Chains A and B, each alone.
Chain A
């Protein structure tokens, strides 16, 4: 029952002022154990806010981030799963599944989280999962014209991960759920 929050591409303050209030009301401290951020926060205030949601924070470097000391990619292990984070602007074509799968194999992770496209996607690919949490603020994107604020919450429980995706569509929060099971135990 480990809850992991994945979000990114907030672009605060350049393209958006803040998270939508409905999202903020849901993200109360104490419930979530880890936060994974794909990048492009961009300012320190957002970093601090995310720290209040959960102290265990992992951020990858996006191209507009003002704090340049974040790593380009990061891997961590939660429960039975290995997770990898990257921003995704380095992987071209942007948002392409095969290229992202390359990155996944490179990092040797079960779950890869990237962003940059401001579009939520979740693929099951080669015994692994590639997730794009979209933009948490719904900020403008040059490659995507219809952006809804969205983020992802993963519930890691043993060999099973349940992915809840929260999207703000027409002012209402819509929740969707996707189940993934790890077929083989990880060999460390």
Chain B
């Protein structure tokens, strides 16, 4: 017997209580929607419409229920309709004469007594000949009107080409329209992106990964980010910032919470202008690699836009040191965002996203966005580098690729018995960075830090050497079709067996190199503690600079597919500056089909290497034994100066060795200068952000003398920053 206390959820009363709960949540959300006084959304009429539409949709789709956020998807749709209707009535008031409801200029209403249109009085005035009503503007024919007004008039023509359905804007049917629009948005209208899926907690039917769709979409986002800007991705992964922490809000409301309503409408225009149909790979329907979120143009654009937002906040994000600060930056947007720039960037990334989705195969096991693997396909010249290969320290190797990676590293450990202490270089690097960053804010306990720095230094140097060595290695074997996957030991696993052997090869060559440079290492190790963090930060700054260069390059120069995007992919956390630039040059090389350049390259590389060492040593000599933020800054400055010098050299080298025409050389040079300037600016921003963090932390220092010192150091650093700024402005103007 059905009774109110029945515990049967399907009973009438059970459903009654469930619906009551739904309504309660709905009402709560609606009161909080755009709560500014006078806001359109708080008016009772609008609230009533929103409530009815949402309630009806949720009741019709009980599997989704009502989730917070659905109302924020519906609200802008309703707003647009409302604005349109208002505009229509405005136009109608002004241009009454044209809103005649005449069928073949035969007005019905005289014969049809049940005809109750408002047009009646308008056609009366028209029939009056030159009667002017209420100061309306008189036009003799429709064609003389402003084309926009024309559209509005024609859209309300009930007897137009589409008959009664021709009325697009109608006040009477505003609610109906809102419901249809909302329904289409939520169910995806048969396309790839159905917003409703983002609200469901369970893995969707054909999800390949078995994760809830919103998690999957966030992972797709990270995947795209890793392709575009792997250092940033690496940084985020290292901090433990899982994508869904911020992406959930972005995706569920389609960025509704991040932008003001007007901006949001622009963004949505762009999003909805893209087709939502799935872009299927022709012969591979059972591939379990594609992200559902990326498999339509619209989905790709959404992900691309999210990535462009992240990139916009790049310098701030890179300067943060823990996950909460990072999330704070990501979730609190500055108000002055240049929307057009973001959209343009997103558009450029969108194509990338679609390609990436179509070409990558497996990257699947739980936690896969930590170790996104990629396959360098043979025929496909677009190869995606392995990014953020940071394994958590105590992971149990339970998969094939893990073991391979570990084997690899065991070999390398074996090889480099020269240097005493070796942690997994990736992890070591992340530790180092963390230590460096924490050092800038913690109390200066010199002994402890000194020891760490000592340890840091040698591995960094060693890895730099290794990178270079393997790079030279790779240059020798130019017959490889997938050369760019082979960037030294940093890549954990390559799918190709050949590449694995190549790496072993590479790692074996290292001792040779190492022994050659052992003395130089010893010498440098006798220096003060500072070099290691410098080079560590150096590498990092370099890296960020380079990756930004790379990404800028790809977007600015619009290199065709492979060439342009590969520099981004091949960005590594600690790849030395020569490596990347030489890579880029080597790319130009390949694309131009000149294999003889290899020799020249190597010469150049070794030359640059010397130069780098020289600069590095100068930088370390210049600084004394103090530890503190100023050192970092100075080192970074030194580093970025090197950056520029080396970069310009490389640009020169590249251009000279590639036999393209003079103008393109000029262009490349200018472009690279510009990009250098931009990268400098970015570096400066990161440094400044770090400074701000430091200032917050150097406050509570007890040691007053240290305080005074650090203040002075900061002062000089700031002055140096100003100089850099000027240089970068000059460069960018060129």
Contacts and interface: CB of A to CB of B under 8 A. Distances in A.
Interface stretch (B2-10, B150-158, B403-411, B620-628): B2-10
A177 B3 contact: yes
Contacts of A164: 3-5
Contacts, number: 24
A175 B1 contact: yes
A1 B13 CA distance: 11
Contacts of A81: none
A153 B4 contact: yes
A34 B56 CA distance: 30
B365 interface: no
Interface stretch (A24-32, A63-71, A124-132): A24-32
B204 to A, nearest CB: 32
Contacts of B17: 31
Contact of B7 (A26, A153, A166): A26
A26 B1 contact: no
A31 B1 contact: no
Q: Is the interface of A mostly helix, strand, loop or mixed?
A: strand
Most chain A CB within a 10 A radius of its CB, from B1, B4, B5:
B5
A80 to B, nearest CB: 19
B4 A155 contact: yes
B19 to A, nearest CB: 11
B5 A166 contact: yes
Nearest to A28: B5
Contacts of B5: 26-27, 31, 153, 164, 166
A166 B4 contact: no
Most chain A CB within a 10 A radius of its CB, from B4, B6, B7:
B4
A27 B1 CA distance: 17
Nearest to B7: A26
Interface string B1-37: 1011111000000001100000000000000000000
A3 B7 contact: no
Q: Is the interface of B mostly helix, strand, loop or mixed?
A: loop
B149 to A, nearest CB: 52
Interface string A134-158: 0000000000000000000101000
Nearest to A25: B7
A159 B682 CA distance: 73
A3 B6 CA distance: 13
B369 to A, nearest CB: 40
A120 to B, nearest CB: 15
Contacts of B16: 1
Question: What is the size category of the interface that chain A forms with chain B?
Answer: 10 to 19
Interface residues of B, number: 8
B16 to A, nearest CB: 8
A175 B1 CA distance: 7
A175 B13 CA distance: 14
A167 B4 CA distance: 14
B12 to A, nearest CB: 12
Contacts of A166: 3, 5
A57 B720 CA distance: 75
Contacts of A155: 4
Interface string A1-27: 101000000000000000000000111
Most chain B CB within a 10 A radius of its CB, from A31, A153, A155, A177:
A31
A176 B1 CA distance: 8
B11 to A, nearest CB: 11
A31 B7 contact: no
A52 to B, nearest CB: 15
A27 B3 CA distance: 12
Nearest to B17: A31
A176 B2 CA distance: 10
A188 B42 CA distance: 37
Contacts of B1: 175-177
A140 to B, nearest CB: 26
B3 A175 contact: yes
A82 to B, nearest CB: 22
B278 to A, nearest CB: 44
A153 B6 CA distance: 12
Contacts of A153: 3-5
A54 B17 CA distance: 16
Interface string A99-113: 000000000000000
Contacts of B3: 153, 164, 166, 175, 177
Contacts of A176: 1
Contacts of B6: 175
Interface in A150-183: 153, 155, 164, 166, 175-177
Nearest to B1: A175
Interface string A74-100: 000000000000000000000000000
A122 to B, nearest CB: 15
Contacts of A26: 5, 7
A164 B5 CA distance: 10
Contacts of B4: 3, 31, 153, 155, 164
Contacts of A1: 16
Contacts of A25: 7
Nearest to A23: B5
6 contacts: A26-B5, A27-B5, A155-B4, A166-B3, A175-B6, A177-B1
Q: Which 10 A-B residue pairings sit nearest by Cβ, starting from the closest?
A: A26-B5, A175-B1, A175-B3, A164-B3, A3-B4, A153-B4, A155-B4, A31-B17, A153-B5, A31-B4
Given A27-B5, A166-B5, A176-B1, 12 more contacts: A1-B16, A3-B4, A31-B5, A153-B4, A153-B5, A155-B4, A164-B4, A164-B5, A166-B3, A175-B6, A177-B1, A177-B3
